[in-house]
């Protein structure tokens, strides 16, 4: 399928499979995939390791903001990096997941990540996933998808994914984490998670990845005549 030069923005709730979907889209249409959540996770790891966020999630915003000036956070061969250190495994841990949504409420952090995303996404033919891509980062994206699914289905998928990587998980802990993140993400002041007016909703509770690909091919064909 010959897809034109467009930006595809995928937003939605935690663990709805946005990144797996985006990766397959990128592969099939020869697009560049950009995972905005990985940058929020990277800033969170950096904040934990440098003491900018406490046990009770109090954040030293001025100190964090200052330190971000020199934070070399970027994508590389194996995923997300700080300088030449690959942080891909650490940023997927529950320790980071439990602090990422508080960190993502900080306006200074959002400005830092937005700057990077716009820089990485200067060209078209990108698919980016997150919470505010279609509303804030790329409000002019030609195709916006808003993903949702039943919370228990999402928790099961995420727990299976973590177990496949060898991490011990408790389904209830995973469910609690994703519901807490959804709440914080939807209620924060700066760029909350909301469906863009022109986004198409995809509830994939009962869909396979093949179903999802059929779904998007049909939409692209209808919308862009290809
Ligand atoms: O993989 P999952 O969907 O669970 O999360 P993620 O995409 O890795 O994002 C992790 C967290 O980063 C989210 O829960 C949000 O708090 C934050 N985030 C955000 O605020 N804005 C984005 N564009 C992307 C992520």
What CATH number corresponds to the domain at position 96? Answer: 3.40.50.300
Residue of 19, 22, 37 to test ligand 1 pocket, by largest number of atoms within 8 Å of CB? 37
**In this predicted model, what pLDDT tens digit does every residue of 168-179 receive, in sequence order?**
899 999 999 999
Residue at 43 is within a domain = yes
For residue range 170-218, what is the model confidence (pLDDT) as tens digits? 999 999 999 999 999 999 999 999 999 999 999 999 999 999 999 999 9
User: What local confidence, expressed as pLDDT, does residue 22 receive?
Assistant: 98
pLDDT of residue 171: 96
- Number of compact structural domains in the chain: 1
Q: Is 204 inside any structural domain?
A: yes
Q: What is the CA radius of gyration of the chain?
A: 17
158 within domain boundaries: yes
**What domain range is 27 assigned to?**
7-218
Instruction: Compute the distance from residue 177 Cα to the ligand 1 centre, in Å.
Output: 12
pTM attached to this predicted model: 0.92
- Given a contact cutoff of 8 angstroms between Cβ atoms, the answer to whether 40 and 50 are in contact is no
Pocket lining: 100 vs ligand 1, CB cutoff 6 Å: yes
Q: Mean pLDDT across the stretch 16-22?
A: 96
105 lines ligand 1 (CB under 6 A): no
Residue at 113 is within a domain: yes
223 assigned to some structural domain: no
Say what the pLDDT of residue 85 is.
Answer: 98
Are 117 and 74 a contacting pair, CB within 8 Å? no
Phi-psi region of 191 (alpha: psi -120 to 50; beta: other; left: phi over 0): left
Q: Is residue 2 part of a domain?
A: no
Give pLDDT, residue 122: 83
Among the atoms of ligand 1, which is closest to the Cα of residue 133?
A: 23
Å from CA of 163 to ligand 1 middle: 20
Q: Is 154 in the pocket of ligand 1 (CB under 6 A)?
A: no
- Which residue, judged by its Cα, is nearest atom 1 of ligand 1? 15
Q: Is the CB of 181 under 6 A from ligand 1?
A: yes
| Tens-digit pLDDT profile for residues 103-139 | 999 999 999 999 999 988 788 899 999 999 999 999 9
Please report, for the chain, how many H helices and E strands are present, in that order.
Answer: 9, 8
In a domain, 41, yes or no: yes
Has residue 62 been placed in a domain? yes
């Amino acid at each position: 399928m010959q897809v034109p030069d467009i930006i595809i923005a995928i937003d939605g709730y935690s663990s709805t499979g946005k990144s797996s979907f985006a990766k397959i889209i990128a592969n099939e249409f020869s697009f560049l995939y950009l995972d905005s959540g990985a940058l929020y996770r990277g800033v969170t790891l950096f904040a934990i390791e440098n003491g900018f966020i406490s046990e009770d999630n109090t954040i030293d915003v001025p100190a964090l903001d200052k330190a971000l000036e020199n934070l070399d956070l970027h994508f590389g061969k194996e995923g997300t990096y700080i300088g030449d250190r690959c942080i891909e495994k650490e940023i997927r841990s529950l320790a980071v997941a439990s602090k990422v949504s508080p960190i993502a409420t900080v306006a200074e952090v959002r400005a830092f990540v937005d700057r990077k995303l716009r820089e990485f996404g200067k060209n078209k033919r990108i698919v980016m996933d997150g919470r505010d891509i279609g509303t804030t980062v790329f409000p002019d994206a030609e195709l916006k998808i808003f993903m949702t699914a039943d919370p228990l289905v999402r928790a099961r998928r995420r727990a299976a994914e973590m177990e496949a990587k060898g991490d011990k998980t408790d389904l209830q802990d995973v469910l609690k984490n994703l519901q807490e993140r959804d709440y914080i993400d939807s209620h924060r002041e700066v760029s909350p998670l909301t469906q863009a007016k022109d986004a198409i909703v995809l509830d994939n509770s009962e869909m396979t990845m093949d179903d999802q690909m059929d779904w998007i091919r049909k939409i692209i064909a209808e919308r862009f005549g290809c």
